[in-house]
Amino acid sequence: MSLTDTTSHPYSAPEGILIGHLTPGTAAWEEARTGLTITATEIAVVVGLSPWQSRFSLWHKKAGLPTPPFEMTPAVEWGNRLEDAVAQKWEDEHPGKLAAPAGTWMHRQREWQRATPDRLIYPQPGSEFEIADHADALLEVKTSPFGDDWGPSGSEQIPIHYRCQVMWQMDTLGLHHTHIAVLISGHDYREYTVDYDEAEARILRDAAERFLADVRNGVRPDIDGDTATYQTIRVQADGIDDRDVEIPTLLRDRWDDAYQQLAKASADLTQIRGEVLDLIGNGRRAVCEGRRIAYRTVRDGATYSLSPYAHHEDAA
C-alpha cells in the first residue's frame, strides 16, 4: 500500500499522513485497520468503553486469530446511508465551511495510530470553488434511534465511546476541534462540539501502547462476560474431537450456580415484564420519573414485543 505524505497533498493535517480514500470492506481498507494498529473505532474497546466489542475480541483480531465475521445490522446500514444527508445538513447550517470526505490517516510518528474521520472541515475563503489548504476541524456524523445518551444540542455531552473516537481522531491528525452532527429518531437533528484534550489523549495513547504490547507478548485478556468475547471463543475451535475434557471443580460449581440463577431470573423477568405490560395497556411506553423504561410494539393490534430502552445501541 502506498502512503501519501500530506506535506505534498493539497489537503493536509498537522500530524497526520493520508493513507488513502479506502472503501470499507475492501482488502486495502482491511489492511489499513488490521495488524498492530489501533483505529479510532477501536480505542474505546481498548479502554473498555465500547458497547460493541470487547478487549478479548479485539486482542484476537490484532493477534491474527479467528474472530466472528462482521455483520451488517439495519442500524449500521442506515447510519451509512444517511451519513451524506446528515453531513449536508451540517454544511447547510454552517455557510463558508466545506465538509469533505476525510479518508484514512495515520500519525506521522506513530504509524500504528490510525483514524478514518467522516469529514474534514475546510474554510472557504472566497467562492465555493476555493478552499483552504489545511483542514481546521473534523466532522463526525452519527445516527441514533434514541437521544437518551445525548445532551442538549451545542454541548459536549455525547456517548463516552464516541468521545474516545473523536479524541483519537484529533490526536492522530493534530486537529483541535470536532463537530458532531447526529440525527436522532430520524428527525431530531443536533450538533455538538468536542475540543482536543492533551491529557485525555495521552491516557488513550498509553492504553493503546500497553494493549499492543500485550498482543506482541501473547498476553491474552481475561475472559469476561461480554457477548463479543463469547462469540470470539466460539470461532477458535476448528472441528470436533470425540473426547472428554476435564474442567476445574470451581468452574463446574459456577456453571451450576449460574444456570440455577438464570432460571430464577428468567421467571422473575417474565413476571416483571407482565406487570409492566399490564400497566402500559394500549400505551406505547413505560416511564418512571421522566426516564423511559420500556416501549411496546404492536402487530395486528396485539402486543408484538416489549423492549427496554437501556438495551438500545447507537448506530455507528
Segment 177-216, tens digit of pLDDT: 999 999 999 999 999 999 999 999 999 999 999 999 999 9
**Structural domain contains residue 222:** yes
What is the pLDDT, as a whole number, of residue 3? 34
23 and 154, same domain (yes or no): yes
pLDDT 10s digits, 212-261: 999 999 999 999 999 999 999 999 999 999 999 999 999 999 999 999 99
DSSP string, 14-66: SSEEEEE-PPTTSHHHHHHHSSS-B-TTTHHHHTT--SS--HHHHHHHHTT--
Whether residue 196 is found in the same domain as residue 134: yes
Considering the domain architecture, whether residues 303 and 208 belong to the same structural domain is answered as no
Q: Domain residues for 177?
A: 16-231
Do the Cβ atoms of 158 and 168 come closer than 8 Å?
no
pLDDT at 316 over 50: no
What confidence tens digit (pLDDT) does each residue in 131-167 have? 556 789 999 999 998 888 899 999 989 999 999 999 9
Q: Are 207 and 260 contained in the same domain? A: no
pLDDT score recorded for residue 4: 36
| 126 lies in the same domain as 159 | yes
Q: What is the mean pLDDT of residues 1-25?
A: 64
pLDDT at 9: 41
Q: What is the pTM of this model?
A: 0.82
Residue 11 lies inside a defined structural domain of this protein: no
Q: Is residue 236 part of a domain?
A: no
Average of per-residue pLDDT across 71-78 = 86
Number of domains observed in the structure of the chain = 2
Last residue of one domain, picked from the residues 173, 203, 231? 231
Backbone φ and ψ of 291, nearest 5°: -105, 135
Please check whether residues 179 and 277 belong to one and the same domain: no
Residue 124 above 80 pLDDT?
no
Q: State the pLDDT at residue 137.
A: 96
Please report which confidence band the pLDDT of residue 31 belongs to, taking 50, 70 and 90 as the band edges: confident
Q: At residue 315, does pLDDT exceed 50?
A: no
For residue 86, give the CATH number of its domain.
3.90.320.10
Q: Which distant-in-sequence residues (6+ apart) come within 8 Å of 97 by Cβ?
A: 91, 121, 122, 123, 124
C-alpha cell at position 306: 416489549
